[in-house]
Structure 1
Amino acid sequence: MAGEIEREKFKKAKSARRRRRRMQILRLRSDDLVEVESDDLSTSSSSPSSSSSSSMATLSSQSPLSDFETANLPAAIGTLTAGGDVPCFSHGSASVCGRRREMEDTVAVSPALIGGGASSETYDFFGVYDGHGGDAVAKACAEGLHLVLAAEVERRLRLAAAAPPEAAEEMWRKAIGECFAKVDEEVVMKGSRAEAEAEGTVGSTAVVAVVGTRRIVVGNCGDSRAVLSRGGVAFPLSRDHKPNRPDELERVEAAGGRVINWDGYRILGVLATSRSIGDHYLKPYVTCEPEVTVTDRTIHDEFLILASDGLWDVVSNEDACAVTKRCLARRSAINGAASTEAAAVLVELALSRGSKDNISVIVVELKRICGGGEGH
């Protein structure tokens, strides 16, 4: 009898948690985003975030999450933490398999990856990798791309120490381009050593951000995306590599490839992105060459969102920034885990809008620095 009572209490508590979870999705109001309950989210100490006086974009109304999605989401949410006492930009992440059978996304964070000397700016690294055909390439990127980039940047920084700012920007572009090429080559070699035919059909998008106090450098290859919120306005720091993007279509056709509309525009009717790491059976039509942007920081920078297309297919840049800003302002005010909650709510929003892909999100607060022990 006592056991039945305990089970009934557990069911009621679980149901209450689900209701609170549904309320995480920010709803439409005519002039603002509604305050929501979030008692079940973990918190950690943080200082209040600065907020912009700019008006916030509103969201279209959303359908609630199903019980299955709500029940399974918390177990999949994880915060990427920095090791030791290394200071880094406050950040949090969330990743879910969603409606896919397999999880092929990976994420990576490496605080103070580059620099740190007496006269050198320190940069934190953040990356989201959306695999396809399997998770092998996405995992390889998460495990090693940042290490390759660090070595390449350090080498080039020594050579460009006395160079003008414009030369430094070119250095970043070349370093990230060389990094992606080396990782792509390593994937080829690994596939050749394994002598597995399937290895050539595995690939991954990659969007990486190297964040310092003076600039943000973003490298993108594929349709994952990085978006900066500055003064209440959403600024994309990358452009999606879609086969039907005019310049990408021209490049593919010039290389002898074709873009076929087969359940969406695809390279040779197969791949829905025109750039990726791996996918060697589709080269040279599909290239690993990234597009790189170098953005000077301003005092109006608020946060950075990196995410796979599982988010961006159903959530606009403006909506994502509006939701994140609300979460950061509210959670900071009540001493909570702001960036982690923001990433989790974005994942829930994508699920509620019917995203059919894996969803991975990293939120980086650009006005908060934390020690590695805090983690977000």
Structure 2
Amino acid sequence: MIDNVNSVPPVTEKGCRITALMESGGVTEVDRTGDNQPNFTRRRKLQENFNVFADDYRYNKKKKPENSSVSGGFIINDQVQLGTTSEVKKVEESSVTCRSHGSISLIGRRREMEDAVAVKPGFLSKGSKKFDYFGVYDGHGGSRVAHACRDALHSLVIQQVSKEEEEEDINWEKVMAESFCKMDGKVNEEGTEMATMGSTAVVAVVGEEEVIVANCGDSRAVLSRGGVAVPLSIDHKPDRPDELDRIERSGGKVINWNGQRVLGVLATSRSIGDMYLKPYVIPDPEVIVSKRSDADEFIILASDGLWDVIPNDVACDVTRRCLNGQMIRRFEQQSKSHATDDQSSEGIKGGLADCAASFLAELAIGRGTRDNISVIVVELNGSVSSSTDGA
């Protein structure tokens, strides 16, 4: 056993990984291999930019919370590369239920990229209703479960909806519960090779009249409604009172090993996969169905690489400033001042939602996150971007 637990860095795939834990609480193997040397120059620059942003954010929040501009932007065309090449995914497909959307995935300071995102505009029609699909999947133990969810979970949702009766009203709680359960079954059919792998999943199905969010794990969805950050999911953490009670009633334990973990191993109490931790870790999603209103501005879906270091309200405020164009000039200035001959500012031309997702991801790295970061921004209506059109 390791005496000084506090000195161990946060668990990563190949760094400080607990590969097995017996019911007695004994650790059979611990790999404390160090991380790759980070890019200290880049990290310092990001931290300095974050400090500037944070100071300016606090000042403007106090003085002019709605109309003030934000200082301390980041370079969009200079994507973060710490450890290895980042996977960056920008979405350009047209949507049927929202104004725009953009997404990004960065490896951050991890050795491996285990996150995945799925964006499926117009993935489902039911009678006269049409829906878009957005999903963020945060893998652990490897990327295969997250990739499997990215490739198949939306198809399972379609299959479940097709089994519903002819009425247009859909029992979304039942559809999501059965879809997540089937996804979990498909992953577990892979056998021992994937038994120690899993993934969180937060999914938003956006219709013209409603938004459905299904969450399993500690990724999160947040809605900005009338300038207020409204959580559409609650993180499944092992020390959440109801989750702790469920785990203990099923015979499991929550052990403090660099944070509260199921059997001292997993820092989330629900996930798809993780067959070796059942029945303590379950794939059942919590589903929230919200009626859309004219005050709904946008939704942020992200892995905990963002939420561990950026509060809901700050993320929404930053996104709002990106969507209403206040960040564009700073992006352009930063890009021009740092671009080389073979670089351009194309990174800011993918749309305001792309800018918002990219800015949030880099802000999280500047704030010191150690995890992969995946972000999807879904602009629900034009009220944000049009609010400053006449300014």
TM over 0.5, shorter chain: yes
Q: What do the CA deviations read for 1:63-83 (whole angstroms, capped 9, x no partner)?
A: 999xx975669964331232x
Structure 2 regions of 5+ residues with no counterpart? 1-40, 330-347, 384-391
Cα distance in 1 between the residues matched to 2:67 and 2:277? 42
Tell me what 2:155 maps to.
Answer: 147
**Residue 280 (structure 1) aligned to one of 275, 297, 301:** 275
Aligned mates of 1:154, 1:137 — CA distance in 2: 25
How high is the sequence identity, in percent, across the aligned residues? 49
- State whether residues 207 and 219 of structure 1, in contact with CA within 8 Å, keep that contact through their aligned partners in structure 2: yes
Which residue is equivalent to 2:117?
A: 107
Instruction: Give the structure-2-normalised TM-score.
Output: 0.73
SS of equivalent residue, structure 1 residue 284: coil
1:246–1:64 Cα change, 3 Å? same
Provide the rounded CA distance (Å) in 2 between the counterparts of 1:277 and 1:185. 9
Letter in 2 for 1:97: I
Counterparts of 2:328 and 2:124, CA distance in 1: 32
* 1:15-34 aligned within 5 A: 26-29=53-56, 30-32=58-60
C-alpha change, 1:318 and 1:57, in structure 2 (3 Å) is: farther
Q: What is the rounded CA distance, in whole Å, between the counterparts of 1:96 and 1:179 in structure 2?
A: 27
CA–CA distance in structure 2, aligned partners of residues 105 and 78 of structure 1? 11
Q: 1:367 corresponds to which residue?
A: 381
The residue that corresponds to 1:229 in the other structure is: 224
* Cα contact 1:28–1:58 (8 A) shared by 2: no
Partner of residue 344, structure 2: none
Q: State the SS of the aligned residue for 2:139.
A: strand
Q: Counterpart of 1:148 in structure 2: which amino acid?
A: L
Unaligned runs of at least 5 residues, structure 1: 1-14, 35-52, 370-376
C-alpha spacing 1:69/1:126, structure 2 compared with 1 (3 Å): closer
* Secondary structure of the corresponding residue to residue 138 of structure 1: helix
How far apart are residue 274 of structure 1 and its match?
Answer: 0.1
> 1:326–1:152: structure 2 CA closer, same or farther, 3 Å change rule?
same
2:230 aligns to what SS in structure 1? strand
- Structure 1 position 358 matched with structure 2 position 372: yes
User: Once the 2 structures are TM-superposed, how far is the Cα of residue 114 of structure 1 from its aligned partner?
Assistant: 1.3
Q: Deviations over 1:341-373 (max 9, x none)?
A: 00000001100110000000000000159xxxx
For 1:199 and 1:306, locate their aligned partners in 2 and report how far apart those are by CA, in whole Å.
26
Tell me: CA distance 1:86–1:365, structure 2 relative to 1, closer, same or farther (3 Å): closer
The answer on 1:240 being equivalent to 2:248 is no
Equivalent of 1:128 in 133, 136, 152: 136
Which amino acid letter does the alignment assign opposite residue 300 of structure 2?
I
8 Å contact kept, 1:217–1:293: yes
Counterpart residue number, 1:45:
none
Judging changes above 3 Å, is the alpha-carbon distance between structure 1 residues 78 and 21 closer, same or farther for their aligned structure 2 residues? farther
Partner of 2:101: 91
Q: CA deviation at 1:308?
A: 0.2
The structural deviation recorded for 1:220 is 0.3
User: For residue 41 of structure 1, what is the aligned residue in structure 2?
Assistant: none
Which residue identity is paired with 1:111?
P
- Contact 2:219–2:302 under 8 Å retained in 1: yes
CA RMSD of aligned residues (A): 3.4
CA distance in 2, matches of 1:287, 1:113: 27
Is the CA contact 1:104–1:132 (under 8 Å) kept in the aligned structure 2? Answer: yes
CA contact (8 A) 2:203 2:213 kept: yes
- Aligned-partner SS, 1:339: helix
Does the residue aligned with 2:91 lie in a helix, a strand or coil?
A: coil
Structure 2 vs 1, CA of residues 96 and 22 (structure 1 numbering), >3 Å: closer, same or farther?
A: farther
CA distance in 2, matches of 1:361, 1:223: 14
Cα separation, 1, equivalents of 2:227 and 2:327: 17
- One-letter code of the match for 2:91? L
Alpha-carbon distance in structure 1 between the residues aligned to 2:371 and 2:314: 19
Q: Quickly say closer, same or farther: Cα 1:20–1:174, change in 2 above 3 A.
A: closer
Deviations 1:65-105, CA, capped at 9 Å, x for gaps: 9xx975669964331232xx664531001111001000000
Contact conserved, 2:210 with 2:290, CA < 8 A, in 1? Answer: yes
C-alpha deviations, 1:151-180, integer Å up to 9, x for none? 212321x3444x6xxxx4xx1000000000
Structure 1 residues 232 and 86, CA gap change in structure 2 (3 angstroms) = closer
2:88 aligned residue:
77
| Separation of aligned partners in 2, 1:292 and 1:327 | 29
Give 1:294's aligned amino acid. V
Q: Scaled by the length of structure 1, what TM-score is found?
A: 0.76
Aligned length: 315
Query: How far apart, CA to CA, are the structure 1 residues paired with 2:72 and 2:308?
Result: 15
Structure number with the bigger relative contact order (C-alpha 8 A, sep ≥ 6) is 1
1:279 offset after TM fit, Å?
A: 0.1
1:7 corresponds in structure 2 to none
For 1:244, give the aligned amino acid: D
8 Å contact kept, 1:57–1:322: no
Q: How does 1:2-21 map to 2 (within 5 A)?
A: none
Q: Pick from 352, 355, 358: which aligns with 1:338?
A: 352
Cα pair 2:69 2:326 within 8 Å, conserved: no
Does residue 347 (structure 1) correspond to residue 361 (structure 2)? The answer is yes
TM-fit CA distance, 1:265 = 0.4
Cα deviation for residue 231 of structure 1 reads: 0.4
Q: 2:180 matched to which residue of 1?
A: 180
